[in-house]
Amino acid sequence: MSPHRISSADELASRFSASVSITEEEALLAHISPYFDVKNTIYGGRGCFARAQIPKGTVIHLSRHPIGSSVARVFRKEVCTWCFGYQDGKTLKHRLHDKIYFCSQECVASFVESDPEDLLAQTLVRVELLFAQSRGEISDKDIPGDEDLDAEISRIWAATEKWESSLARLKPSKKAQIRPIVNDDDYCELRYVLGVLHSMYQTNKAEKLHHREEDSEEQKPANVTPDGAFQLSLSGMDDGEALAIEAKLFDILHSSESQKVHRYPYLAVSYSNIYKFIRLIAPEEYLPFISIQAVRDIIGRNLTNAFGIWSPVTSSDEEREYFGFGVYPSASFFNHSCKPNVTKIRRGASYEYIAKEDIPVGAELCISYGIRESDGLKQRQDALREWFFECGCSRCTTEGKA
């Protein structure tokens, strides 16, 4: 059955016109898609629930581009920086500044359009240069022990603050001598953080430009009413408007940084080193968005909200290569089910979310977080716990009683 299309802008405007007294957060959540509401679940957290009956094959949501993404260092020459295209292990021919790889000139042009001042591109070049000088593994003696872990974590970040305060007094030649140790996993994280910082910068720049315009009805964005409420879902917005909404949604995502560090204490040192690395190479334009807490939150929000970028496969049980990850805030409210009723399909850097079956009104819309259908209950539950997710879907419940 061919996918159903999103309702027209006029239909959406009339449907949402009554939403004038709700908070901005509620407005953001209400306008992700015309097909579902984001509401609290009975088991904790939030989820997506069908507003009306959804026919099988309906495209219920489209995430156009991640707010931040990263390609694993080992694949940086083989996986397109923009669309994540892969050409069977071949080194990609199209490059920017000889360091950033793309699968086509069209992807180069799209990246440049998203980075008109060349800020992100130049920063990614600096990443490659500094990483080559900083690559290594942290010493076991620097990893905090389990005893009084909270105090150890606080000590690490206090030392990071002290390190940062010394930067202003150092000459550029001296700064090179205090570079942190980072490994390939850190490389993936710090490129993602820089992508998010760039999105924040671009969104802030666009908002400032809008605020300088005359406050006339003709110049208000088409998706905003005079009282500031959103009229359209993300599908009805242009790329700039959609990015602004995704950035606001990103701000309300939960950060699992503390939980992850308490499970794996070495990450406290790793995240501190990522922060130091970013402070050394970030352009001045990104600095208003950089603080220790901000970077910790950016990292923490990917831990339970990122979608992995994987090599294409021909069957669900085929082994896949992990290429990297991206964070799509508007899609982060889909919960997991081992028997999902929504499938996600990656098309380039975009994801489509399509109903796998007829879905009744009020039903929760769930996707798979990448768990293989052939995995047993324990395998699935162990994998999901890495994302701090306890699955209580019908399949797990049934198998748990067997």
Give the integer Cα–Cα distance in Å for 123 and 144. 31
| Cβ within 8 Å of residue 269, ≥6 positions away | 138, 142, 143, 144, 156
Within-domain flag for 113: yes
Within-domain flag for 159: yes
Within-domain flag for 162: yes
Residue type, 297: D
Residue 169 tokens read as: 């007094």
Within-domain flag for 50: no
Residue type, 158: A
Q: What is the pLDDT of residues 113-132, one digit of tens each?
A: 999 999 999 999 999 999 99
Q: What is the pLDDT of residues 194-215, one digit of tens each?
A: 999 999 999 999 888 766 654 5
Neighbours of 179 (CB within 10 A): 16
Within-domain flag for 154: yes
Give the integer Cα–Cα distance in Å for 41 and 97. 47
Within-domain flag for 157: yes
Give the domain range for residue 171: 91-97+106-200+255-306
Neighbours of 261 (CB within 10 A): 24
End-to-end CA distance of the chain: 36
Contact yes or no for 63/331 (Cβ under 8 A): yes
Q: What is the pLDDT of residues 275-297, one digit of tens each?
A: 999 999 999 999 999 999 999 99
Look at the chain and report how many structural domains it folds into: 1
Give the integer Cα–Cα distance in Å for 283 and 200. 13
Q: For the chain, what's the residue count?
A: 402
Give the integer Cα–Cα distance in Å for 246 and 233. 12
| Cβ within 8 Å of residue 157, ≥6 positions away | 268, 272, 292
Q: What is the chain's mean pLDDT, rounded?
A: 86
Strands (E), 288-385: 306-310, 322-327, 335-336, 342-347, 350-355, 364-367
Low-confidence ranges of the chain (pLDDT < 70): 1-22, 176, 210-232, 316-317, 402
Give the integer Cα–Cα distance in Å for 117 and 123. 11
Give the integer Cα–Cα distance in Å for 63 and 313. 21
Neighbours of 390 (CB within 10 A): 11
pLDDT score of 5:
31
Tell me the CB-side half-sphere exposure of residue 36, using CA atoms within 13 A: 30
Within-domain flag for 205: no
Give the integer Cα–Cα distance in Å for 369 and 306. 10
Within-domain flag for 169: yes
User: In sequence order, what DSSP letters do the residues of 167-185 get, joined into one string?
Assistant: HTTS-HHHHGGGPPPB-HH
pLDDT score of 213:
58
| Cβ within 8 Å of residue 189, ≥6 positions away | 70, 270, 271, 274, 299, 302
